[in-house]
Amino acid sequence: MSRMMIISAAVAVLGIGAYFVTSPGPSVTPADPLGAANAQTAEADVDTSTIQEMSLGNPDAPVTVIEYASFTCPHCATFHAGPYKQLKADYIDTGKINFVYREVYFDRFGLWASMIARCAGTPQSFFGMTDLIYSGQSTWARAGEPTAIVAELRKIGAVAGLDADTMEACLQDGDKARTLVAWYQEHAEADGIDSTPSFVINGQKYSNMAYNEMAALIDAAAE
C-alpha cells in the first residue's frame, strides 16, 4: 500500500534521524542533514536549483510524465518491474514523451538510496541504478540495522561500477542531503503529492494506475 506523506513531518524525521557513513566499515554516526528546528524554513534557506532533474525520452515531446516515487515504496518497485518497462518501450524510447523521475523521501533509507543513485552521475546511469535499487529493494530495505542497509546499498553501487571512495563521498555529502530534501519538499508541495507512486501528466496529478489507463491518458494528452 502506498504510504500517505505529511511533508513537514517527513522533513523533520529526516532532519533528526538521518545517518551518513563516516568510514568504509560498518560504523555510522548520526548527522543532521536538515535540522528539525529549520524544517519549516528549509526551502527558503536552500538553493534547490543545483539538483539535476533526472529525465529520459524527448525533452521537446508534447507530453511530460513526472513520476514521484520512493525507493522504499513496494508499489513503486512493482511499477518499475513491469509497467515502467512497457512505458519505456512504448513512449520513452520512441520519443513520444519526456519522462521525469522525482524522488520522495519517506525515510532516511530512501534518501540514502537516492544519494547512491545520483552518485552515478548522468541520467542514463541514474536510471540504471534505479533499476538495481528497485529490483533489490526486498533485500537492502529489509537488511535490519542502518549499518546493514548502508552496506547493502554499497553492494548495489559496486555492481553499478561505483568505487568505494566515490560512494563514501556521496553518502557524506550533508549539503547535498539538505538540498535534496528541500527539493523534494518544494516539488511535492507544488504538485500536491501525498502518496507514491504518483504521476503528473502534463500538469495533471494521478494516483497509481494500471498501465493501460496511463497509456490512454498519455495518448489523450498528446492529441
CA dist., res. 201 & res. 187, Å (int): 14
> pLDDT per residue over 94-126, tens digit each?
999 999 999 999 888 999 999 999 998 899 999
Does some domain include residue 159? yes
Distances (CA, A) of 96 to 64, 102, 143, 206, 217: 9, 20, 39, 19, 13
Q: What is the CATH number of the domain that holds 103?
A: 3.40.30.10
41: in domain: no
Report if residue 44 sits inside a domain. no
Q: Is 94 inside a domain boundary?
A: yes
Tally of domains in the chain: 1
pLDDT digits (tens, 9 = 90+) for 69-86: 999 999 999 999 999 999
In tens digits, the chain (223 residues) has pLDDT values of 444 443 443 444 444 344 444 433 433 432 433 333 233 344 457 899 999 999 999 999 999 999 999 999 999 999 999 999 999 999 999 999 999 999 999 888 999 999 999 998 899 999 999 999 999 999 999 999 999 999 999 999 999 999 999 999 999 898 899 899 999 999 999 999 999 999 999 999 999 999 999 999 999 999 9
Domain range enclosing 77: 7-33+51-213
